[in-house]
Amino acid sequence: MIDYAKLPTEQHHPKARNLKLMSTREIIALMNQDNLAAISAIDRQKAQIEKAIGQMTQTLSTGGRIYFIGAGTSGRLGVIEAAEMPPTFGTSPLLVRAIMAGGNIAVFRSQEGAEDNKEKARILIEKKLRAIDLLIGVAASGVTPFVQGGLAAARKKKAGTILITCNKQKILAQTASTVIALDVRPEIISGSTRLKAGTVTKMALNILTTVTMVRLGKVDGNRMVDLQPKSKKLVDRGIRLVQEISGLPRIKAAKYYQRANRNVKLAVNLAKKS
């Protein structure tokens, strides 16, 4: 049985006990000060984050896929991360995916009871995951049954596992091969992990996916050369990237860009060969 009262995410913030008596500016200052804890928490977990990036890079470079699994805020953060990979780095939508407790409807409307459905997670993972894939559990408490059920099923399949949590209890080391424990202490509204727990989780996910894509050659310098130009802004950015990398005037860069079917890397190669 889980003793929820002892979870770090359920504790009371010592400076927020009289929140309703504080001025608006005082609450803003407290929240801003509180968010600084996210930076320190990331810094303390650099070694684990580096290890996780190694797993992610290895998975994708050897034909595997990455799945994020979570519930509530944590699940939605995984959905965001998966959704951003194709437009930012030109990856296939099948390469990085998300599994949300409660299904697609839970992305937009809370399905709180879904997080307790351990069996549903097991069924989904057994159906979707292969041994060469990687499952990243995202759970602020670290003990969400849906996430733990998914991780257990992934371990049974001998797939890679990572857990991102805000619970530093050592027992969680048994749940995944890499545990990133981001200790940000209690929220100003007790248990509301959409606050700094959500912030630090998003920061960690940004680092994990971005560095992984850098390692896989999805950027040139710091340029987003594999972007998918599906808006006017991104088309313009693509032309500017060709212009910057090739050194050509904009008009010529645009011609090569169109000839390459709006593929930055191909356009630059065509320009170099001309």
Determine, yes or no, domain membership for 206.
yes
pLDDT at 239: 97
Give Cα separations from 272 to 25, 176, 244, 259, 268 (angstroms): 56, 46, 13, 14, 6
pLDDT higher than threshold 90 for residue 79: yes
Confidence of residue 152 (pLDDT cuts 50, 70, 90): very high
Q: Which of 165, 188, 215 is the last residue of a domain?
A: 215
Catalytic residue among 84, 112, 119, 244: 84
| Whether 133 and 173 share a structural domain | yes
Catalytic residue among 10, 26, 112, 115: 115
Determine, yes or no, domain membership for 226.
no
By the 8 A CB rule, do 65 and 96 touch?
A: yes
Confidence of residue 171 (pLDDT cuts 50, 70, 90): confident
| Whether 135 and 258 share a structural domain | no
pLDDT at 251: 96
| Whether 51 and 179 share a structural domain | yes
pLDDT higher than threshold 80 for residue 41: yes
| Whether 139 and 250 share a structural domain | no
For residue 240, what are the domain limits? 232-273
pLDDT at 21: 96
* 86 backbone dihedrals φ, ψ, rounded to 5°: -60, -50
Determine, yes or no, domain membership for 42.
yes
244 is catalytic: no
pLDDT at 112: 82
For 228-273, write each residue's pLDDT tens digit: 999 999 999 999 999 999 999 999 999 999 999 999 999 999 998 8
Instruction: Enumerate helices (H) and strands (E) in the chain, giving the number of each.
Output: 10, 5
| Whether 206 and 241 share a structural domain | no
Determine, yes or no, domain membership for 95.
yes
| Whether 246 and 173 share a structural domain | no
Determine, yes or no, domain membership for 221.
no
| Whether 242 and 126 share a structural domain | no
Confidence of residue 81 (pLDDT cuts 50, 70, 90): very high
| Whether 241 and 147 share a structural domain | no
84 is catalytic: yes
| Whether 197 and 170 share a structural domain | yes
Mean pLDDT score of the chain, rounded to an integer? 95
CATH code assigned at 153 = 3.40.50.10490
Determine, yes or no, domain membership for 81.
yes
Distance, CA of 192 to CA of 187 (rounded, Å) = 6
| Whether 184 and 240 share a structural domain | no
| Whether 114 and 246 share a structural domain | no
Confidence of residue 216 (pLDDT cuts 50, 70, 90): very high
Determine, yes or no, domain membership for 225.
no
pLDDT higher than threshold 80 for residue 1: no
Confidence of residue 170 (pLDDT cuts 50, 70, 90): confident
- Containing 148, the helix (H) or strand (E) segment is helix 145-156
| Whether 239 and 166 share a structural domain | no
Determine, yes or no, domain membership for 224.
no
At position 210, the amino acid (one-letter code) is T
For 84-143, write each residue's pLDDT tens digit: 999 999 999 999 999 999 999 999 999 889 999 999 999 999 999 999 999 999 999 999
Number of domains in the chain: 2
pLDDT at 274: 80
pLDDT at 37: 92
By the 8 A CB rule, do 96 and 122 touch?
A: no
pLDDT at 193: 95
Share of the chain above pLDDT 70, in %: 100
Average pLDDT estimate for 37-46: 96
- Give the SS3 label for residue 228: coil
Distance, CA of 175 to CA of 205 (rounded, Å) = 19
Give Cα separations from 212 to 33, 202, 203, 207, 217 (angstroms): 30, 15, 14, 8, 9
pLDDT at 119: 96
